[in-house]
Structure 1
Amino acid sequence: MANLRLALLAAAALLLSPAFAAAQLRTDYYATICPNLEAIVRGSVKYSMGQSPISAPAALRLFFHDCAVRGCDASIMIVNSNGDDEWRHPDDQSLKQEGFQTILDAKAAVDSDPQCRHKVSCADILALAARESVSQSGGPSYPVELGRYDGKISTKNSVVLPHADFNLDQLNGFFSGLGLSQTDMIALSGGHTMGAADCSFFQYRIGTDPSMDPNFAAQLGGTCVNSQSFAFLDGSTPVKFDNAYYKNLQAGRGLLGSDQVLHADVRSRGTVDYYAYDQGTFFYDFANAMTRLGRVGVKTAADGEIRRDCRFPN
């Protein structure tokens, strides 16, 4: 009897372990539950992108900010009445409303299907919307593992994210904590081929960072004229998902310090150069890195739920 109890305790521990939670993910998770799920999310994201060019990069960034804090459980979407939630942390204040709205609209579209209503997690919708934001912007379309449950908790003090002035060691340290490699980190950084950043994130580099191209510095100096100013992370093709980001790094035209350091540091330069040369390899590595990112901190039925409204725990 004692051995049986030990076996049951071991099985329970396995069910609650991160490895087990990630193992529950599979691409056909909703095949019988909500067979039209991917088509519904695809159509909804397409509509959102038609409404605003910001929606795609905003939704993609939202996925990273969610998974990097408490795991991929859509806790970034939670609104607490006392104001103690992730999205109101200073490091999340730059997240754009268009990203949140893209997820809320996709959730509403999914729940409008009677077969799917209240059966698909916000976390899975966020993962699918991120993929669609990439693929519909010209990037790779890759299989998305599904089966996540939504978290029930969101707090400001749980937010720890990489900053725009991180060096390579700091970036590797952060991503290693998520179980991701330097190659994963460099590939995921390629998501900065879309979107923009407020001048406050990079203005300190203008005229002081020798790795920044002088002509680019002069251009940014003319752009950053007030507190509302911003610049595109990839000024050449700001709404297209491609490998121009890495070509910009080669030319000293990376906007953030944490971007440019990937080429400035010899330990990561080779990967940047390869992605700049071979877009197909970048796309392949990015898709694999997104899959691995999507396994971080996955919740199960034991510690999660399927939120009816992505903004509030049930």
Structure 2
Amino acid sequence: MVSWLNVWIMVALLVPVLLSLTNPRGESQTQTQTQTHPKPHSQKQTQTQTLHLPPSLISSSSNLFFNERIRDGSNLDYDFYRDTCPQAEDTIRSAVTRIFFDHRDSAPAILRLFFHDCFIQGCDASVLLDDSNGNKNHSIEKQAIPNQTLRGFDKIDLIKEEVEQACPGVVSCADILAVAARDFVLLAGGPFYPVLTGRRDSNQSFYDEANDQIPRPDDNVNRTLRLFSLRGFNERETVSLLGGHNIGKIGCEFIQQRLYNFQGTGQPDPTIPVDFLGQMRLNCPENNNTSSTNEVSAFEVSQKENSHSEAGMSYMQALSSSMSSGGAFDTHYFQSLLKGRGLLYADQQLMSHVKTARLVSAYASDDGSTFRMDFARVMLKMSNLDVLTGLQGQVRLNCSQGVSS
């Protein structure tokens, strides 16, 4: 009876999301049918749990061999903690709500933190670690250039502490980050999407991969599409994920070179409309001390966590001088790109590719329902990306510290 109840609950939650599989205006049926999803390739696929099991258990576990290799999210479950910590998701939701109303900028920060975690070797909370396999001399993801401006670690730690008080040693940091990201998006005006649980935490951090594989704000459209394709996302999914830029602020240091020294020319990006260039320069005056945009993430939405600077622009702000916009999670990001008012070069590059430009136009052409449905669908997919489950990984007691074997 319980299992059938879970099935019906999942059907009720997933039907609205699955409706987004219909083509948005501007994308042909043929293109959708012929999209391929390359199998994500990652070094971490070979990582297995170092748990010491008794011989009797090993010999009787016929599924162990397969369990160590399944990373596609199929081992996740709805309400995974219903028996071991039934209050887990309520505790996370309560903490997220309190944090959001005290710090509205936490929503884009946690969304970006979640993306950076999942994009590098899967959704396993490896970006939260302060060491790798207990080796404090090994470079970690937090130290990678694209991650040095990540914020929200303290918010995840706070949520983890409250969950630990309710259920010590049960709920993984990877699940907390995934559920919290969904709840922050919802509070920021975004769509609801179901988050399955049962992820385990990695004890390894991936510095080199984070440096090399996180999209940059100055990437051309081909590199952006290639990086997303390597993780199984097609053009439509990539464009809808980048639509997450419609909340939060782009820090000035991530558009500075585009305004004053585009590709080393000493001149601004010539594709920026003159009036918009003036507006951007008013918000982001020339500053020789800003970080190089060649080395930061395209999902950057704010300044460093220890910085008090508010300099930057949002996509709603970029659009407001040319046309009106609705709520925070609507189509204004795509409308901005249609007007040539993309803040990041990588975002505006979506208009230089036939398929992505068609998708931008399709998302911008309705009340936002197509984008919201697609965003919900692709966030569900991303949250299941290359996860650790079952006997893989571990459950950390502290999100920044692995559990010693």
Same fold (TM over 0.5): yes
Q: Which residue of 2 aligns with 1:299?
A: 388
Q: Which residue of 2 aligns with 1:167?
A: 220
Q: Aligned partners of 2:340 and 2:350: how far apart in 1?
A: 11
Q: Which residue of 2 aligns with 1:111?
A: 164
Q: Which residue of 1 aligns with 2:101?
A: 50
Q: Give the letter aligned to residue 314 of structure 2.
A: F
Q: Give the letter aligned to residue 85 of structure 1.
A: I
Q: Aligned partners of 2:326 and 2:142: how far apart in 1?
A: 24
Q: Which residue of 2 aligns with 1:186?
A: 239
Question: 1:249 touches 1:263 (CA, 8 Å); kept in 2?
Answer: yes
Q: Which residue of 1 aligns with 2:272?
A: 212
Task: For residues 9-35 of structure 1, give each alpha carbon's deviation from its aligned partner in whole angstroms, at most 9, with x where no partner exists.
Answer: 99544222245x521112221222222
Q: Which residue of 1 aligns with 2:150?
A: 95
With over 3 angstroms needed to count, the CA separation of the structure-2 counterparts of 1:238 and 1:133, relative to structure 1, is farther
Structure 1 runs not aligned, ≥5 long: 1-7
Q: Which residue of 1 aligns with 2:115?
A: 64
Task: For residues 93-121 of structure 1, give each alpha carbon's deviation from its aligned partner in whole angstroms, at most 9, with x where no partner exists.
Answer: 1212xx112211111121221xx222111
Q: Which residue of 2 aligns with 1:14?
A: 66
SS of residue paired to 2:73: helix
2:78 to 22, 27, 46: 27
TM-score by length of structure 1 reads 0.89
Question: 1:211 touches 1:260 (CA, 8 Å); kept in 2?
Answer: no
Q: Aligned partners of 2:190 and 2:242: how far apart in 1?
A: 14
195-204 or 180-189, larger mean C-alpha shift: 195-204
Q: Give the letter aligned to residue 153 of structure 1.
A: Q
1:258 to 2:346 alignment = yes
Task: For residues 59-84 of structure 1, give each alpha carbon's deviation from its aligned partner in whole angstroms, at most 9, with x where no partner exists.
Answer: 00000000011210001100124362
Give the superposition deviation at 1:156: 1.7
Question: 1:202 touches 1:256 (CA, 8 Å); kept in 2?
Answer: yes
Q: Which residue of 1 aligns with 2:331?
A: 243
Q: Which residue of 2 aligns with 1:3?
A: none
Give the superposition deviation at 1:134: 0.8
Over the aligned positions, Cα root-mean-square deviation in angstroms equals 2.3
Q: Aligned partners of 2:154 and 2:316: how far apart in 1?
A: 24
Give the superposition deviation at 1:243: 2.1
Give the superposition deviation at 1:147: 0.9
SS of residue paired to 1:195: coil
Q: Which residue of 2 aligns with 1:269?
A: 357
Give the superposition deviation at 1:205: 2.4
Q: Which residue of 1 aligns with 2:253?
A: 200
With over 3 angstroms needed to count, the CA separation of the structure-2 counterparts of 1:52 and 1:111, relative to structure 1, is same
Based on CA coordinates, which of the two structures has the bigger radius of gyration?
2
Q: Give the letter aligned to residue 312 of structure 1.
A: Q
SS of residue paired to 1:143: coil
1:232 to 2:314 alignment = yes
Question: 1:53 touches 1:239 (CA, 8 Å); kept in 2?
Answer: no
Question: 2:190 touches 2:372 (CA, 8 Å); kept in 1?
Answer: yes
2:173 to 122, 133, 148: 122
62-71 or 272-281, larger mean C-alpha shift: 272-281
1:150 to 178, 186, 201: 201
Q: Which residue of 2 aligns with 1:283?
A: 372
Q: Aligned partners of 1:36 and 1:213: how far apart in 2?
A: 52
Tell me the matched-pair count. 303
With over 3 angstroms needed to count, the CA separation of the structure-2 counterparts of 1:250 and 1:174, relative to structure 1, is same
Give the superposition deviation at 1:239: 9.0
Structure 2 runs not aligned, ≥5 long: 1-59, 260-266, 291-308
Q: Which residue of 2 aligns with 1:4?
A: none
Q: Aligned partners of 2:280 and 2:326: how far apart in 1?
A: 15
Q: Aligned partners of 1:238 and 1:85: how far apart in 2?
A: 40
Q: Give the letter aligned to residue 225 of structure 2.
A: N
With over 3 angstroms needed to count, the CA separation of the structure-2 counterparts of 1:68 and 1:306, relative to structure 1, is same
With over 3 angstroms needed to count, the CA separation of the structure-2 counterparts of 1:305 and 1:69, relative to structure 1, is same
With over 3 angstroms needed to count, the CA separation of the structure-2 counterparts of 1:224 and 1:141, relative to structure 1, is same
